[in-house]
Structure 1
């Protein structure tokens, strides 16, 4: 039996952008991990694994898998919480990353088209 659910749902443009950015990040993490293997095997393997996870998440976003919606939401929420912690301790280096994660969270939950596309 063929799954035609994606054919009946329209992927929101913002989700497409998130999926593409996640895929680019995943490819860069894999490349970085491979380059690190000669310097530090452990960090190289961690980078490769993170890259593969990012690529799987990108595929899930692209194909509108409900689990990808929730994984993205949880990771964004954790990023926001960590960013707030860093800001409270006086570290402003992650301010942009925190704002982006907050924007992603707002987009995922405030846009009814996104929730409908993922059927959440």
Structure 2
């Protein structure tokens, strides 16, 4: 597949923002290499590259909380992806929240401002 993304700018990876297609809420930020991007386009399910595991990460492969891709957008510099998704299972965050952005800075303190949807210990048994 010939893409317009510039994977060479940042060592083969581009940031990928997942946004709820209905509400516009930002759910998470992850990374994609060319293979993850191409599989996402081909399957309609979000696939990222896990830097910590150094391999493809098919969102929801352990939790079942997959992201169905409704739209793919590329920024003006062709080095960032925006995925508009439907988040199945209700939670994008591995800590059990709808969004990975569940904490807000209040003065000098980070406060949890969302409710946990699932218990990560029950979902991730590894």
Please give the range of the TM-score, normalised by the shorter of the 2 chains. Answer: under 0.3
Higher strand share: 2
The one of the two structures with greater contact order (alpha-carbon pairs below 8 A, sep at least 6) is 1
TM-score by length of 1: 0.27
Structure with larger Rg? 1
TM-score by length of 2: 0.26
